[in-house]
Amino acid sequence: MNKKPNIDTVVILAGGLGTRLSEETQKKPKPMVKIGSKPILWHILKHYQFYGFKNFIICTGYKGYVIKKFFSNEKDFLNENIIIVNTGLKSLTGTRLKKLEKILPNEFCLTYGDAVSDINIKKLINFHFKKKSIFTLTGIIPASKYGAIKFNNQNKILNFMEKKDLKPNYVSGGYFVLNKIILGFIKKNKDEMLENAPMKKIVKTNRMYVFKYQGFWQCMDTLRDKMYLEQLWKNKPKWKIWKK
């Protein structure tokens, strides 16, 4: 019986502009926007650290020097290896990942630098290997802010559903587990979004799976999201699974 590879490396996409959070991102990249006294990027690393991850590869772009400066003085990850890679100011997600090809292990985790969750990373990884997946993503059900309307071609409303009545739809919440083979689906000389053409090609391999998760997950796209996370942080936040 083959021993399951031990995954201890996570790549964090932290190079975006964060235009919808411009109140905070004029002077720093979105992953450096704070929840409490620490940036959301710190919260993400603490989550993976709790599950024994030792290698953190942070893909930077917009104002990446702010991230580099923060971790040069940060004392909470002295036993971990943090690699900060400038993957381009405006590079898309697939291109950022492709640029890491030479330093990535055969199996690794990947996530976005602007969302927190209490997901059990160990269970996610076990699911990935059990399915013999090459690309596992975490499917989450985001809280809807709106009701839904159904109307005909004359724009006459046929039905209105309050948000509490909407059927849950899973969307990608990040927290990926990947086999390095998927890098072959990302073009080398073209700026590509991982979530577009590459993922459509990977689906056709029949080795791409979703880990359905209905626990806590929250992104920080807007100032409203930041304020919500700040409020949660003050009162036993669900994503704080670490002790110190």
Q: Is residue 78 part of a domain?
A: yes
Per-residue buried b or exposed e for 155-169, using 16+ beta carbons within 10 Å of the residue's own CB: eeeeeeeeeeeeeee
Q: Is residue 93 part of a domain?
A: yes
Q: Which pLDDT value is given to residue 66?
A: 95
Q: What is the DSSP letter of 51?
A: T
CB 141 within 8 A of CB 68: no
Segments of the chain with pLDDT less than 70: 1-5, 144-152, 155-168
Q: At how many degrees (to 10) do helices 40-50 and 64-73 cross?
A: 50
Tell me the CATH number at 134. Answer: 3.90.550.10
Q: Is residue 243 part of a domain?
A: no
Q: Per-residue pLDDT tens for 17-61? A: 777 777 777 888 999 999 999 999 999 999 999 999 999 999 999
If one counts the domains in the chain, the total is 1
Q: Is residue 151 part of a domain?
A: yes
Among candidate residues 30, 53, 34, the one with its CA nearest the CA of residue 42? 34
Q: Which pLDDT value is given to residue 130?
A: 95
CB 101 within 8 A of CB 183: yes
Q: Which pLDDT value is given to residue 212?
A: 92
* Structural domain span for residue 137: 9-233
Q: Is residue 44 part of a domain?
A: yes
Q: Is residue 241 part of a domain?
A: no
Q: Is residue 1 part of a domain?
A: no
Q: Which pLDDT value is given to residue 87?
A: 94
